[in-house]
Every structure is written in C-alpha cells, then in structure tokens.
Structure 1
Amino acid sequence: MLIHEYLTKKAPIVAVLLLALFYSCHAPRYVTSADYQRYEINEDTPTTAAGADIAQLITPYKTQVDKEMNTVVATLPQPLIKQKIESTLGNWLADAIADYVENETGRKVDLAICNYGGIRIPMLSAGPLTVGDLYELMPFDNYVVTMELTGSTLKQLLERIKDYGGWPVSGTLRMEVNNDQIEKALIHQEPLSPDKTYFVALSDYLANGGDRLDFLSVLPHDNLNVYYRDALIESAKRQKEIVATIEGRIIFQDQ
C-alpha cells in the first residue's frame, strides 16, 4: 500500500495502538521541549526522500499493527449483512453484546441494542473474521454500558427503535408494529410490563442521549469500561464459528 494511502486509511488505528503500547510500558513523561521537521504528504511523497524517511519511521509500527489487525478471532460460514428491518449482522452484533455483558456481570440481559448508524460497513464477508474487520465495523470508541429501565422507559426506547425503522436488537425481543403502533412487545417471551425493571445493554453514546434518546441521559448507567468492538472481539473468540439468521425480532405488519 502506498504511504499516503496507509496514512489516510490506517492512521487512526495506528495512533490508538501506539498510544496503548506507550502508556502500558512507560511511567508518565512530560514534554519540556520539542523539535520537529515538516513533511508535506501527497501522491508523489512515496518517491521522494521525505517519503522514504516517513516509510522508515512508521514501518516497525505498521508491522506490529498489521499483525494485530490480521489476527483471526472467528470464522463466518456465510456473510453477515446489514439491512433493515432486521439483519444477520445486526442480530449477531446485539446477541454478542448480550453475551459479553452476561459473562462479565453474571446477570441475564433482558435486551441488548445497537443503533443502526453505529454499524459502519455493509457486511462481514464469509471466511476468517479478523480484529481489523471488527475495527472497521465499529471504529468509534463507544463503551458498553448497562441500565436498569422500567417497562415504561423501555417502551419509550422501543418507540424510538420503531421510529427509526428498526435497530439491531437481541433475540430476547419480539416486537410487532402495525399502522405505526407497537401492537406487541415481548421480552423473554413475556409481555412488556410497565412496572417491571429490565436489565439493558447499550452504548454510552445512546445512554447519554444520542440518536434522540434524551430520556435516557437523565438516568444512571453502569459503564463496563470496554469498547463495543472489544466486546465483540471477546464474544467472537468464544463463539469461534458465527452463524446468524433472520428470526422476526421486529416485524412491521404493514410493510
């Protein structure tokens, strides 16, 4: 890959991993002075002396990053596709987050969700699933959090999911919509109860009110201090072979 292409496409991942490596291996240091040399990067850079200097500088780090990104965590017998109302990619993602939270907390998850826009690629191809694939799938540093929601608040959340035409939800939910109204909502095959408290897994972005979920931002949540993508990596490693199907988790009767 040309150096300018690498810097354009991979720089964020390089920066994250290099910072992690630096801070894990050294005591805190403080900058007292700095010197730098400016390089202008363009299409001709790889053939210039500056391009050679930059390539020499980043090659050791690129090698280390490539090794990490190419690590295989699971296999996909079939591709996982992103689409609405329900998709194989969305189903696996939500179930994987539920799996991670249950393993970490020892509690049964009543619902795990992800906003549709948070999935940044249209599919995961059949074959080996790598760490790099999951970085592309979830490039943002969103944390997994849990919330205790009353049935009435959870109903508000389901209304938002309905308004968006469906989001990835875990297999614990069965919801039917007709004429823009939620006619049925089952959690663990039981009707949603307004007085019951439900254990929900989601991202800190959503818990803090993102995607018009303002009503969640005033409620407490527990941050598990793990990024969504890292939770997916851990769940994929346990699963080893990933298969997901369309199950009718959300049905729009009038579509």
Structure 2
Amino acid sequence: MKKIVALLAIFLMFACAEEKQSVSRIEGKRININDSLTADQEIEAYVKPFRERIEEDMNKVLSYAPKDMHKNDGELETTIGNLMSDLIKSQSEPIYKKRTGKSIDICLLNHGGIRAPIPKGPIKTQTAFNVMPFENSIVVAELTAANIRNMVAYLAEAKRAHPISGLTIKVDDDFNVKEALVNGKPIEDGKTYTVVTSDYLQNGGDRMDFLKDPESLEILDYKIRNAMIDYFKSTDTIPAKLDGRFVKQ
C-alpha cells in the first residue's frame, strides 16, 4: 500500500510540474477621479496649511512685464528667448567666475524648452514654473573654435529662434552664414569659448552634439527656473526687446 501511495505522489508531482499556466483574459475598468470622490477630512486638514503656503509663494509678485512676450514674436530671435538667454548668462556669470576665474562668452538654450509666454503685467513665481516646468540645471561648457562654428552652422540650418546671448549671427536669404561674432569679435582659431547652457542640451538634446565633448565642463548646481526667479526678484521691469542678434539680411 505504501508503495502505491508513493508512486501516486510521484505521478501527481510530475503531472503538476508539466501543467502549463496561461493567461486567458485580462480585464480592467476605468475609475474616474472627480468631485464625486469624497475627500478624507483628516488628510485635508493636514495638507491645508502646506497648500496655502505654496499658493502664497506661487502668487507672489516678483517683477513686471511691459508687454506680452512669447517665442513666436520674431523669426530668428524672440523677446522671451532674448530675455531667457540674457538672464541665464548674467545670473551664471558670477558663480562661474568665482569658481574658475573665467567669464562666460555665450548662452545657448533651445526654442522648444520655453513652454509658456510671459503675459504683460505682474510676473509671479508661478510665471517661472509655467515658462520652465522642467528640472533642467545650468552647466558651462568650454568649446573649441571649431565647435563654436558647428554651433553657428546648426543654428543657421535649424532656421529657428533658439535663444542666444553673446553671439550674433547674420545669414542671407538662403540661410548661408555671412557673419558670426562672439562678443562683437570674429571666432578665432585656436581659442576656446565658454558656453552656458542646460544639462539637457549639453548631453546632446535637440541634436546639439557640438556640446557633448567639451574641453572642460562646470556644473553650477543651479536650476534654470531658480535663475529666472532670482532675476525676477532683482529686476523691477524686465526688458522685452528684439536687438538683431540673429538676423537675415
């Protein structure tokens, strides 16, 4: 009898081992999150002071915009793009100079990174979050003259208002580069130039591969959005200008 029980147990073990499991059907249903879901009052009471503090901070007026500024108010340069590149360059300069003893030559950002306009009127903390919702940080890459020329070629080929500061470009009607100046001077062979930009672009974002292999790289530990907020706090009325830094002639 014991032998029969043992044989039966072995048989069942192998039978179970060979049995294949498979999913015959997957079902799901949509649960809408709306006002019909009642809030937990205890959690609401706990969260309320934090929410009110955040709302207060977000609605704090920092500066003033004299006109609407958006990324489509110019062909190759825009008011908001000029503002962004200029302020990132000016806010980063003292940090970089203190660390390295060098100045920043150029700022380069990307057109697509500007996610909202700045409307005429009071500028609030929320404005900076609307324009720059990403957690992009500021870096300074030291590039060869060859890569600066690659940058200029990229901008001319893109035919898009990528924000620049410290760099002026003139192109003809076919977008051939007629002139490119860094701080008013021609690009010099054998010289290196410092470019402040975002960590996203420095890693090759938006196909800006000329930033990927710099001679040196300084990570400022300073987010673009925070630089915007600091600038707004220190500036009563922000400039809104098109100044011919990238033009077709």
1:42 & 1:115 partners in 2: Cα distance?
A: 36
Q: What percentage of aligned pairs have identical amino acids?
A: 31
Deviations 1:64-95 (A, max 9, x none): 11111112221112222212311111101100
| Corresponding letter in the other structure for 2:153 | E
**Aligned counterparts of 2:38 and 2:162: Cα–Cα separation in 1:** 50
Task: Specify the alignment match of 1:161 in structure 2.
Answer: 155
Are the counterparts in 2 of residues 138 and 228 from structure 1 also a CA contact under 8 Å? Answer: yes
* Structure 2 SS opposite 1:74: strand
Q: Would you say 1:148 and 2:147 are equivalent positions?
A: no
Matched, 1:118 2:118: no
Q: Which residue of 2 aligns with 1:250?
A: 246
Query: What is the aligned counterpart of 2:212 among 211, 217, 230?
Result: 217
CA distance change for structure 1 residues 181 and 202 in 2, over 3 Å: closer, same or farther? Answer: same
**How large is the RMSD of aligned CA atoms in angstroms?**
1.9
What TM-score results when the alignment is normalised by the length of structure 1?
Answer: 0.76
CA contact (8 A) 2:96 2:220 kept: no
Amino acid at match of 2:189: P
CA apart distance, 1:43: 2.4
Structure 2 CA distance for aligned equivalents of residues 62 and 133 of structure 1: 18
Kindly indicate whether residue 223 of structure 2 is the aligned counterpart of residue 227 of structure 1: yes
Q: Quote the residue 1:86 is aligned against.
A: 77
Q: What is the distance in 2 between the residues matched to 1:173 and 1:50?
A: 54
Pairing partner for 1:65 from 33, 38, 54: 54
CA distance in 2, matches of 1:200, 1:130: 28
Aligned-partner Cα distance in 2 for 1:222–1:41:
47
For normalisation by structure 2, the TM-score amounts to 0.78
User: How far apart, CA to CA, are the structure 1 residues paired with 2:234 and 2:246?
Assistant: 27
Aligned to 1:174: 168
| 2:198 maps to 1:199 | no
Between the aligned partners of 1:248 and 1:68, the Cα distance in structure 2 is 36
Residues 221 and 57 (structure 1 numbering): CA distance in 2 closer, same or farther, change over 3 Å?
same
Q: Which runs of 5+ in 2 are unaligned?
A: 1-30
**Shift, 1:103, TM fit:** 2.4
1:132 aligned to which of 101, 126, 131 = 126
Partner amino acid, structure 2, of 1:103 = P
Gaps of 5+ in 1: 1-39
Which is greater in Rg? 2
